[in-house]
Structure 1
Amino acid sequence: MPDWTYQPLRGIASAVLGERRSQRAALRVLATVVRVPGGRRLVVRAFGHRHPPVDVAERLGAVVPADVADDASRALLTIGAGFVETEPRPDGDRIYTSSADVAAAARVLADPAKTLVVTPRVLTTAGPGWFQRVTEAVTPTEPAPRLRDVPRDPRRWPAWWWGLLVGLGMVGAGVGAAAITLGPVLLWYDEDFLGMGRAELHAVNHHLVPFLQHDRVTMAGTMVAIGALYAGLAYGGMRQGWPWARVALLVSGLIGFPTLVYSLGTGFIEPLHTAVVVVLFPMFVAAVWSRDHRPKWTYRGEGSEAVWRRELVGQLLMVVTGVGLFVGGFVVSVVGLTTVFVRSDLVFLGVDVDTLRAVNARLLPFVTHDRAGFGGALMAAAAAITLLSAWGWRRGESWVWWTLLATACAGFLPAVLVHAVIGYTDFWHLAPVYFGMLLTSIALVLARPYLLARE
């Protein structure tokens, strides 16, 4: 398990199971997962672990009691230990320590003749991510490229630059979608599909046009949020050689881009939506195709333990928020592709589905396109938020904090404001948004001193 679950929840687990039993349970769970075929790879991938360089791995290990040696070997070798032993073997070049000081560990490992062996106390107090933090501290790095280092020839553009362009393109597309929605609302192809214009829709139901606006403004905000996430992952993560940043971009894109297929089920293929996908998808492929994982990050130390423990609570809350948004996006997609409306939608409109269908048989497929597309976009954004929050929080990585803040502002604020403007203020309809805003605010406040640390 990662530090962001181990540390915030260890007190609760200790109160329920007892301290020693809860520690053994955590070790057993991790070892059990590793035993399953593909489990080791799953743990490494899911937790974003990076194993130390070979010359360091063989000199970084742990000593554990014999009665937990089997579980410890499976678990610790998966999360970064190079070896596990059951009895100390004192040697002048073999250093045993109960200190969780990462900087001190890095100084020992800087001497190629030294071997560092940690006691169980280090892992029970510092958490399972300790090996990962030591690995990053001792990994040789090089300077990260600057914007002016990008060559003019597109054939030589680095993957992170393509990812940044995808992010900026998504921001531009979202702003454009918002401008259209706040202006004419419907473009010529919308009117051609419906066989009705804005005035005719308003004549049918004076809430119908505002309802379409609220769907599309929310979608536009989500597009801008995705753009902010992609730009952050590319410039802040991939440019610095973090392998997990590429994976986060890949997973999110593989969820988001295929949502164009939703249009095939509705019968309404939106030209501008299709054009955005046609332009940005090749850039996305270029961004995730190559794997330049040469380390270019700057290690900024551990800082205050109290600050670190607070940010872990914030990190857990942010991961929970991301998972919740993903579930919400899935539900919106399912509803959009099936019943189309929820009860509060029909209360706001003041009509039932049969009435809308009787007015215009294409009206429901039109709304379905918007709703299902928003659900897919929300899942794509949520996947990026979850993975960035689970893998990317490190001291001094200010881009993570600013990326999540920009994402929250773009995703939450337009949704709340447009509902208020059109008078669709059903509390339970907006409760997930309010809850997400609350969790995100708490998470970013708790993490701010850690992520924005300068030294």
Structure 2
Amino acid sequence: MPSVPGHPPAPAPSGSFVGALIGDGTPLILLTALALAASGGFALFLSITGAFLPHDVAFLGMQPGDLCRINECRIVHFMIHDRFSFGGVLIAIAVLYAWLAVFPLRQGEAWAWRLLALSGVVGFGSFLAYIGYGYLDSWHGTATLLLLPTFWLGMILTRKKVTHWPPWSFMLRSIWQPAAWKSSEGIARLCLLGTGLGMIGAGTVILLVGMTCVFVPEDTKFIGLTTPQLEAINPRLVPLIAHDRAGFGGGLVTTGLLVFGILWQARPVRSMWEALLLAGLTGFGCAIGVHYPIGYVDWFHLAPGWMGSVLFITGMWLSRPFFFDKAP
């Protein structure tokens, strides 16, 4: 670039282009969050349209329309309900990952780095559960293999931002003093901590059910077919449904872990509450809302989701006076 008369020439840009993009590792964590959000949005789109991915069709040897002609399309509707819920969970995880990267991790807080690392082990590790189902989702596997190094490289680089590393046992200690739990603010936080624990418990149950019997009685009642009858229609159908259940269960455990960890360790600031609100509305909205258009409205099946959402909304409402007037 020519210099301007009377001014010294501008120094030539230096440094690595790739290094500038990667930065301190935070952009890689944000890229992971963006990829998860895009995957969640794609899952919602497929569920709304009722479409199957090409490798699903190739594995089954059947089109969605073929399954829809069986028992009032209940099989496809059941699959949609798992996939739509999974899409909402992915978006919720993406929101919480982005908040952790942009706020507490950028400030060098060790608990945020450890929570991200732990959630990554749980989230990516849940993919291993698919091995026993007899169906390996090639698209999911490829996306995982591409995203895994991105996420962990970001974790390696952002680790340098943390200058003080207390023992891992400090993760078991909340930043709150015992007396604080008796306040109105403490009650609000307890409601939200209960929501996180509920997600972990529900996700674990869904994951275990998917790994064993795949269906609970309410599921087969809605579908109108038993597991042997589904296997008679197509022996590959149950493994495909089990794969969907595993994805949702693993995602729900990861979300619950993030929610609980943030509420246990984070300082109360407005940006945290905004992230939790967005994640909660998306996750609960998708997981509960999908049941009504397809007619899966068994009260026993929906009760845990509604209880969790009421607990979440109560905690968020009670916390407004304490958090929305604080700095981001």
Decide whether the 8 Å contact of 1:251 with 1:384 is kept in 2. no
1:322-367 alpha-carbon deviations (Å, 9 max, x no partner): 1111011110011011111111111111111111111111111110
Tell me how far apart the structure 1 counterparts of residues 48 and 265 of structure 2 sit (CA, whole Å).
37
Aligned partner letter, 1:324: G
For residue 231 of structure 1, the aligned residue among 98, 106, 109 is 98
Are 2:69 and 1:203 equivalent residues in the alignment?
A: yes
Are 2:198 and 1:324 equivalent residues in the alignment?
A: yes
Moved over 3 A (4+): 151-156, 305-308
For residue 424 of structure 1, the aligned residue among 279, 282, 296 is 296
**Partner SS, residue 269 of structure 1:** coil
Once the two structures are aligned, what percentage of the paired residues are identical?
32
Q: Residue 180 of structure 1 corresponds to which residue in structure 2?
A: 46
**Partner SS, residue 319 of structure 2:** helix
Tell me how far apart the structure 1 counterparts of residues 77 and 140 of structure 2 sit (CA, whole Å).
21
1:27-78 alpha-carbon deviations (Å, 9 max, x no partner): xxxxxxxxxxxxxxxxxxxxxxxxxxxxxxxxxxxxxxxxxxxxxxxxxxxx
Tell me how far apart the structure 2 counterparts of residues 454 and 217 of structure 1 sit (CA, whole Å).
35
How big is the shift at 1:378?
Answer: 0.8
Q: Residue 351 of structure 1 corresponds to which residue in structure 2?
A: 225
Greater helix proportion: 2
Aligned partner letter, 1:204: I
5+ residue gaps in structure 1? 1-150, 296-301
For residue 147 of structure 2, the aligned residue among 280, 288, 293 is 280
Tell me how far apart the structure 2 counterparts of residues 341 and 381 of structure 1 sit (CA, whole Å).
22
Q: TM-score, normalised by structure 2?
A: 0.85
How big is the shift at 1:153?
Answer: 3.4
How big is the shift at 1:276?
Answer: 2.2
More displaced 10-residue stretch of structure 1: 274-283 or 191-200:
274-283
For residue 271 of structure 1, the aligned residue among 135, 138, 157 is 138
Superposed counterparts of 1:27-176, under 5 Å: 153-154=18-19, 157-176=23-42
Residue 390 and residue 307 in structure 1: after superposition, are their counterparts in 2 closer, same or farther (change >3 A)? Answer: closer
How big is the shift at 1:176?
Answer: 1.2
Decide whether the 8 Å contact of 1:160 with 1:287 is kept in 2. yes
For residue 284 of structure 2, the aligned residue among 409, 412, 417 is 412
For residue 212 of structure 2, the aligned residue among 322, 326, 338 is 338
Decide whether the 8 Å contact of 2:181 with 2:187 is kept in 1. no
**Partner SS, residue 237 of structure 1:** coil
Tell me how far apart the structure 2 counterparts of residues 322 and 212 of structure 1 sit (CA, whole Å).
25
**Partner SS, residue 104 of structure 2:** helix
How big is the shift at 1:181?
Answer: 2.1
Q: Bigger radius of gyration, 1 or 2?
A: 1
Q: Residue 305 of structure 2 corresponds to which residue in structure 1?
A: 433
Residue 184 and residue 419 in structure 1: after superposition, are their counterparts in 2 closer, same or farther (change >3 A)? Answer: closer
Larger RCO (CA under 8 A, 6+ residues apart)? 2
Aligned partner letter, 1:202: C
Q: TM-score, normalised by structure 1?
A: 0.62
How big is the shift at 1:308?
Answer: 9.5
Decide whether the 8 Å contact of 1:185 with 1:213 is kept in 2. no
How big is the shift at 1:286?
Answer: 1.9
Decide whether the 8 Å contact of 2:107 with 2:161 is kept in 1. no
